[in-house]
Chains A and B, each alone.
Chain A
């Protein structure tokens, strides 16, 4: 069965510094991996996804993610964090039955 882990409940970073939100996964077969962001009292918004090809995937709002097959990881990154990036971030994997499996979420706080 597919599973996703986000080892950090909370990540704090200073504005202007690089940020990383970690995700590891377990799937059988080829992984289809996604990152979503949730702002307070809102739905989840799609950031980026990995299907195949280049291991570095670029997405919305300057975010990117690096797929590492040997480490079964898909970490979300941004070179320079903004206060407005503060939100809840979810990593997800989609299984063959079309259903998504989400990680527990990581709360990112960017401090001014």
Chain B
């Protein structure tokens, strides 16, 4: 009963380094997304995808890159890490098919610190 799996759980990066946060879901969900959570700001959408080969920007996309080569995987890449990217990152997925009432399911989060 895996659901949405994120790796790594914790990561410390130096400014300027790049890394990839992995996200995989086993529920055959079309829709996948990445959020960042910062104190007092709730969750903000970084990028999202409505199916393999389709990605789009959310509210705060700068400094991040995504791809969706398969239905299951949706990795988030930090191109050149900055201290402002210190945050908790959540991957989430849901069925799509045009029905906005579908529930979205979250991974357990990735805690990223950029020093």
Contact = CB atoms under 8 A, between A and B. Distances in A.
Interface of A: 9, 32, 34, 36, 41-46, 49, 51, 90, 94-96, 98-100, 102-105
B96 A98 contact: yes
Interface in B20-53: 31, 33, 35, 40-43, 45, 48, 50
A104 B103 contact: no
B105 interface: yes
A2 to B, nearest CB: 10
B100 A102 contact: no
A104 B38 CA distance: 10
Interface stretch (B63-71, B75-83, B106-114): B106-114
A96 B100 contact: yes
8 contacts: A34-B103, A43-B90, A46-B104, A51-B101, A95-B100, A98-B94, A100-B33, A100-B104
B90 A94 contact: no
B41 A32 contact: no
Interface of B: 4, 31, 33, 35, 40-43, 45, 48, 50, 58, 90, 92, 94, 96, 100-109
Contact of B42 (A45, A46, A102): A102
B90 A100 contact: no
Nearest to A4: B42
Contact of A46 (B33, B40, B41, B105): B105
Contacts of A105: 42
Contacts of B31: 98
A46 B102 CA distance: 11
A18 to B, nearest CB: 25
Contact of A49 (B35, B45, B101): B101
Given A46-B104, A98-B50, A98-B100, 12 more contacts: A43-B109, A44-B92, A46-B103, A90-B42, A90-B43, A96-B100, A98-B31, A99-B33, A99-B45, A99-B58, A100-B43, A104-B42
Given A43-B108, A44-B106, A104-B42, A32 B100 contact: yes
